[in-house]
Amino acid sequence: MALEKKPLVVCISGPSGVGKGTVLREVLRQEDRAWVSVSATSRPPRGQEENGVDYYFVSQEDFQQMIAADQILEYDEFCGNYYGTPRAQIEARLDAGYSIFLDITVKGALAIKKALPQAITIFLAPPNLQELRSRLEFRDTESPEKIVSRLSQARQEISQAPQFDYFLINESLEETSSAVQDILYVERLRAFRRAVAIQSIVEKF
Ligand code: 5GP
């Protein structure tokens, strides 16, 4: 069925360290025309991160100018830094018929849903906070103070999970990515169903 691959807008949120990026990479292996939004951030690059690939790394001032110029579709402040979705790239990919995946904060996902009501929101939770702490420590990309700050942000984000369309506990990469693929499948069938219903109404005129 051709419409199974209908373009979708998918926001994945959840606490830092829960594994959003890893799950997304796995899911994208099964997608044809999919694109992951590259955010702008005022956070400095860490590890092997590349400008224009992982993020657009900009100064705090440049970020504020982008907001003022309406170049940012949504943004949030997370642990002292700005993170935002550049508007132009989303519009271009939507026009080109791509599915768009966004790895963003809770506030960001809810803002995207407001701007693009067809967006699907998925919340990924850790099995528990101790596990999240271990993952952040194992990742070894943040100082101990930053880990504390990200864990306190995590509690706050998890409390907002009921506002999402889907809630998954990330116990294993395999199970979670397969659950996300099931969600995409069902959402494409729903989109197909809506398209068929509209078609049958139009045909009566
Ligand atoms: P990190 O510093 O670990 O790369 O990202 C911190 C948080 O910012 C993550 O939860 C990530 O999902 C979120 N984030 C990344 N890009 C964006 C964005 O464009 N908008 C919003 N609202 N959050 C973002």
Sheet of 39-41: strand order equals 55-57, 39-41, 81-86, 72-78
| DSSP structural state of residue 10 | E
Residue 186 clears pLDDT 50, i.e. is over it: yes
| DSSP structural state of residue 5 | G
Instruction: Give 7-53 pLDDT, tens digit per residue.
Output: 999 999 999 999 999 999 999 999 989 999 999 999 999 989 999 99
Residue burial 50-60, b: 16+ Cβ < 10 Å; e: rest: eeeebbbbbee
Q: Is 108 in the pocket of ligand 1 (CB under 6 A)?
A: yes
Q: How many Å lie between the centroid of ligand 1 and the Cα of residue 60?
A: 15
Task: Determine the residue of 72, 103, 139 to mutate for testing ligand 1's pocket, defined as the one with the most ligand atoms within 8 A of the Cβ atom.
Answer: 103
Residue 1 clears pLDDT 50, i.e. is over it: no
Whose C-alpha lies nearest to ligand 1, atom 21? 104
Question: Which residue, 62, 9, 18, is CA-closest to 40?
Answer: 62
Cα(71)–Cα(88) distance, integer angstroms? 7
Question: Which residue, 8, 3, 2, 36, is CA-closest to 193?
Answer: 3
Whose C-alpha lies nearest to ligand 1, atom 24? 104
